[in-house]
Structure formats: C-alpha cells, structure tokens
Amino acid sequence: TRTSRPQRLLQAVCINAVRGNPDSVIAAIDHFCQNQEWAMNVGDEKGAILDSVVMETSPSTVLELGTYCGYSAVRIMRLLPPATRFITLEMNPDYAAVARQVIQHAGLQDKVCLVEGKSADLIPKMADMFGIRTFDFVFFDHWKDCYLPDIRLLEDCGLLDQGSVVLADNVLCPGAPEYLDYVRSSLRFSSRFYRSHLEYTRVLDGLERSEYLGHRDAQRD
C-alpha cells in the first residue's frame, strides 16, 4: 500500500477532527482505530485512566516515552495549562512526522516538545537540553524491554523527585514482567495496578502507577 497506517490515521484526523479541538482529534483517532484499522494508541478506556492520573498529579513537568502518532500527547496536554513543560521522545522518524501534524491539528504544537531519538540516549541529556531538573509525571509507552532500564536511568540521572509519578502502559499486553517486579519490590516506589483492556479490544491489559518515594536504599526481598 502507498500510505502507512500512521499516515492513514493522520488522514482520518484531517478529515474528521476540528482544527484546534483536541477532543475531536482524540475522537477521530478512536473512531478510526475502532472501525477502520487497529493502531497502538493508548485508546479511550486506558486513556480515561491516564486522564485521571494526570489530573490528580497536576504536573508542571511531563516526559512521555513513545509518541507514536501523538494521541497520548494530545490527551495529556489538553488537560494541562500552557506553562506546563511537556517533552515527548520518539525514535521512529515516520511516527514523529505524523505525530507533529496530529499535535498541530489539535492546536497544541506550542505546548509540546517532540524530540526524535532513543530514550536511553536522550534521558541523560534532558537536564542540559531543557533545563529540567525533575519530572513530576512520566508516561512509559515506548517498548516493554526499555521500561526497566529507562526507569533505572531516570533514577540514576536524578530526574525523579519525591512524589514523581511514573505511569506505564501495556504492563500485561505485550507485558513488562521484569519492570513490574522491580517497581513492586523496590522500597523507592509505591506501585498500584489499574486493570483495563488492550486498546480497542477485550484483551486484558492495564497501567502501572509507580510513585517515587525518594532516594532510599535497600530492596524489599
């Protein structure tokens, strides 16, 4: 086929969503994925949980790992004031190109800083590149095998503060078992699981919310 799935998703946004209206962009993507083609956006069911955790956290600084087509960037930033620092990392340039246009269609291009590259390479540069000391909220939605190394990297770079919240998508499907073991056994995190379903399906999935408790040592056995 000539176009990619992200490009067809973008086309659905351009045709069905109202420019400058984030809720209509979200609805257009969910309609496309429910009725035309499945795509790996966090979706509406897990998205509602994401919304509630974002609102209760009221973060001033947000980091998202894995932009894909920009659906969760739009979901998150439609809830937060313009002064919020929002940085989203995407390693796939084709996804990033579509995400920029989806975010622009939602009218949120001035609030979102999309950086292309690998999370492992970019996380250590966050302080220097953006003058950000710590992130109040981090959304993990890139690749399950990166979840554990990346949360360790965030800790090692001092990018988490007491009260920082890390929310991880897909902890059951595709699944991130080592990540779950780590955050649930660590004395430095308080974790809880939000049971839900894989986007646009009835397959079980969920989100893990892990709150950073501060720089402690020791590990619960």
Ligand X SMILES: O=c1[nH]cnc2c(O)c(F)c(-c3ccc(F)cc3)cc12
- Residues annotated catalytic, as ranges: 141, 144, 169-170, 199
Tell whether residue 30 is a contact of ligand X (CB under 6 A): no
Question: At CA 92, angle to CA 108 and CA 140, rounded to 5?
Answer: 65
Interacting residue with ligand X among 143, 148, 157, 194 (CB under 6 A): 143
Nearer to ligand X, 169 or 211 (CB): 169
- Who contacts 125 (Cβ-Cβ below 8 Å, separation ≥6)? none
Interacting residue with Mg ion among 30, 64, 90, 169 (CB under 5 A): 169
Interacting residue with Mg ion among 57, 88, 134, 170 (CB under 5 A): 170
167 binds, among Mg ion, ligand X, none (CB under 5 to 8 A by kind): none
Q: Give the range of 22-30, 78-86, 137-145, 207-215 binding ligand X by CB under 6 A.
A: 137-145
Give how many residues touch ligand X by CB under 6 A.
Answer: 11
126 to 155: interface string for Mg ion, x by CB under 5 A: ---------------x--------------
- Shortest distance (Å) from residue 170 CB to Mg ion: 5
Cα torsion angle, 139, 154, 118, 133, sign: positive
- Shortest distance (Å) from residue 84 CB to ligand X: 23
Buried b (16+ CB within 10 A) or exposed e, 66-85: bbbbbbbbbbbbbebeeebb
Tell whether residue 119 is a contact of ligand X (CB under 6 A): no
157 to 186: interface string for ligand X, x by CB under 6 A: ------------xx--xx------------
Which of 201, 160, 165, 184 is CA-nearest to residue 40? 201
Nearer to ligand X, 22 or 206 (CB): 206
What's the token pair of residue 181? 């073991």
Buried b (16+ CB within 10 A) or exposed e, 3-33: eebbbbbbebbeeebeeeebebbbbbbbebb
CA atoms within 13 A on the CB side of 84: 27
Nearer to ligand X, 44 or 134 (CB): 44
* Cα–Cα distance measured from residue 21 to residue 6, given in angstroms and rounded to the nearest whole number: 20
Residues forming the site for Mg ion (CB under 5 A): 141, 169-170
